[in-house]
Amino acid sequence: MSAHRLEQDQGTRNRNRVIAEILRRPGLSRTDIGNAVGLNVASVSRITRDLIDANLIRESDAFGPKGRPGRRFVGLKPNGDGGYIIGIGLNAFRQSVTLADLENRKIAEWVSSDTPDKDGEAFMRLCLAQAAEMLGDHVTDRSRFFGVGIAVAAELSRDRSQILRAPVFGWDKPIAIAEIVREVLEAPLVLDTPTSAINKAEAEQGLGIGFANLTTLYCSLGFGIGIRQQGDDNGAGQEFGRVLTESKAPDGSGRTLSQACGGLSLLEVTRGSVALSGQPDATLSAMLVEDVVRAVNDAQIQALLRERGKRTAEYFALVLEVGQPERVLLAGALAKSPDFVSGFQQALKTCLGHPDRRPDVRCSDMTPTGASRWLSLRDNVAMGNLDLASLKQETTA
């Protein structure tokens, strides 16, 4: 590789790091950005000038000493109108498509009114058709549309950008989703599971900021696990999480960990097996949310939720002890229950013993769709191969 090419590649990496930092922490000064990414102020100034000229970022109000000696700093923020992304979040409870700008402000949204049927490709095409309609209604310059993020409750092939199967929807055939996105929207795609997407989003701009080791448990009908080790969200960690939730629970019931700890086992008690028979996961998810709300005035459901939280901590304690996350995030319907969360926290004290071995536990409000938008901003904008020259020309035209 030529020295010129190496220099170009390094320049692109530096630019991507600067964009990522501005998206992550809007309002930082050039000095703060340089300190965060390891570049001098002159380099950051050159990069940010190019980004401003391409209409991707803008200067915000000055901050710092006012009315007394000392230079004031100018912050840098994403320019909302400078670009757009699509985020698609699909799980049993909700399936939605949103259009957002570079400040991650939601511009338009479509929520499916029907449970997806077994034709997964047809449903994905429906979602992308809704995205195309939003773009037609709100984005006049398609060169400013930078890509799609999808967070779907499914087994994925990230290398091939395929949805392999999604039992929650009854999808049992592979879907070449990246090819469909290119066909319908002519855009790049980033694909992930809801739990992994939430874990990544929180690590970069939410409750996980500053934690190199972060674990997210998505607690709904079943369980999902997102793992971040030493600041890395690698595919091996995500595959480990999937295999773990499908492992047999140690209670001799023959159920998986996901079945034993998840909300479905709660519904079997509160609703009865007959009432659950034949119900789609979307209906079951709605029932679970209802039970979490009902628990406020129902001591029996409160006790059941505390027991599920305790069981979850006990069954996953070994994983937490080995992985040693500094923080554990609980997300999903069960995480909305104070009883489930308190049961989880209390059991951790017993399972992990010494306080130094116990992670801090927080609850995440991040949704799969919100996480999918952040994935698109990170992978398609911050880490994307943007053509700044064309964007600059278009801005000055």
Query: Quick one: pLDDT band at residue 261, thresholds 50, 70, 90?
Result: confident
The total of structural domains in the chain comes to: 3
How far is the CA of 53 from the CAs of 37, 42, 344, 366, in angstroms?
21, 17, 50, 33
Same structural domain for residues 175 and 223?
no
Considering the domain architecture, whether residues 115 and 71 belong to the same structural domain is answered as no
Residue 263 tokens, joined = 């909300």
Residues 211, 147 within the same domain? no
Shortest CA distance to 259 belongs to which of 340, 198, 268?
A: 268
pLDDT of residue 140: 94
| Closest of 198, 203, 233, 186 to residue 86, by C-alpha | 186
Average pLDDT, the chain: 89
Average pLDDT, integer, range 158-166:
91
Asked whether residue 123 falls in the same domain as residue 271, the answer is no
Same domain (yes/no): 50, 147: no
Please report whether residue 395 resides in a domain: no
Asked if residue 323 and residue 192 are part of one domain, the reply reads no
Q: Do the beta carbons of residue 76 and residue 22 sit within 8 Å?
A: yes
Whole-prediction pTM: 0.90
Residue 391 lies in a domain: no
Do 311 and 229 lie in one domain? The reply is yes
Token pair recorded at residue 280 = 């789609």
Give domain status of residue 396, yes or no.
no
| 53 — pLDDT class (breaks 50, 70, 90) | very high
Give residue 355's pLDDT band: very low, low, confident or very high (50, 70, 90).
confident
Q: Determine the pLDDT at residue 385.
A: 86
Domain final residue, candidates 41, 62, 78? 78
Q: What domain range includes position 25? A: 3-78
The pLDDT value given to residue 210: 87
Claim to verify: residue 99 and residue 237 sit in the same structural domain = no
pLDDT range class, residue 260, cuts 50, 70, 90: confident
Q: What is the pLDDT of residues 133-150, one digit of tens each?
A: 999 999 999 999 999 999
Whether 324 and 218 map to the same domain: the answer is yes
**377 and 361, same structural domain?**
no
- pLDDT (tens digit per residue) in 54-111: 999 999 865 554 544 445 578 999 999 999 999 999 998 899 999 999 999 999 999 9
